[in-house]
Chains A and B, each alone.
Chain A
Amino acid sequence: MPEDHEHIESLQRRVSPTFGKDLKTLYSPKSAAPGKVDQAIVQAARQRLTKPSRHRLRLTRIGAAAAAAAVILFLITLNVTRHGGISDQPPLASIPADIDGNGRVDILDAFKLARRIEVTGDPEAAWDLNGDGRIDAADVDLVALAAVRLDGGA
């Protein structure tokens, strides 16, 4: 570009002033874009570069939804497991609940133990089924619960 200017100036010196002026207008550098336009362009570019794209936003949302669904399903699974574990109580079958010794455990065993505690107040030490050092209603409850257990006892 500087070479062009020198060339034009040398031409201007050799041609008429009017023609020289026209040449100067034709080959002079175009004026720069107004400052406002520049700023607007830069601002638009910044916004576009800093703003996350729709594609990226969509992926983020899908990821968040999948994670939330995983957490919810995990909680549901825990609930199912807990619900299914209701019958995972201590094995009452191992408790010597056949108080009357007739070979089966039923509510009459609990009744007889309760009666013995009420009437004599001196039941056999072997009937301390929960091992707390006392023979009381808690031991009677253990016998009764063994009788109604679905997986045995009765």
Chain B
Amino acid sequence: MRQIIAVSAIALSLMSIVSVRGYQTHPQPMSEDIDVRFVPLQVFIDSGPTPLAAWQFELKAPDDVKIVGVENGEHEAFAEAPYYDPAALMNNRIIIAAFSTADQLPNGKTRVATVHLQVIGDTEPEYKLTLTVAGDREGSEIPATITYFQGEEK
């Protein structure tokens, strides 16, 4: 009996150390005292008069924001879920991209994706949004601007 107790105690200690290290690597500051809310971030690309066939952007959020999901854009040409690295989920940085070979493509300002975020705390976070590339139906790079709106669709 004493041996079982001793072995259990040692195992318990080792597991506690390993678990604590694991949580330190992936901190999850969930607490009843901390205000946690979920907000959508609408991302728009304006390609002017040129039809938008492909786009890629990078989003960087503060440390107290976690990415929890990605939704497709509003135009039917981009109805499928965009490409992103699943490792970005529950982190604060993501690269999102999509293309379409459809005949009908959006131009002007169009919502290309909605990024769902978990925000910890009651501050309004600021995001760094960078348009990596936008392309036309020939695959040529085109000038475009990227903007975002935090909240439900306006």
Q: Which residues in A have some Cβ–Cβ distance to B below 8 Å?
A: 56, 59-60, 62-63, 66-67, 69-70, 73-74, 76-77, 80-81, 83-84, 86-87, 100, 106-108, 110-112, 114-115, 118, 141, 144-145, 147-150, 154
Contact = CB atoms under 8 A, between A and B. Distances in A.
Contact of B132 (A59, A84, A100, A154): A154
A72 B88 CA distance: 28
Given A66-B12, A67-B11, A154-B56, 18 more contacts: A63-B1, A66-B5, A66-B11, A70-B15, A76-B19, A77-B15, A77-B19, A84-B22, A86-B87, A86-B89, A106-B97, A107-B83, A110-B97, A111-B99, A115-B101, A145-B83, A154-B95, A154-B132
Interface string B131-142: 011010001010
Interface residues of B, number: 42
Contacts of A110: 54, 83, 97, 99
Contact of A77 (B18, B94, B98): B18
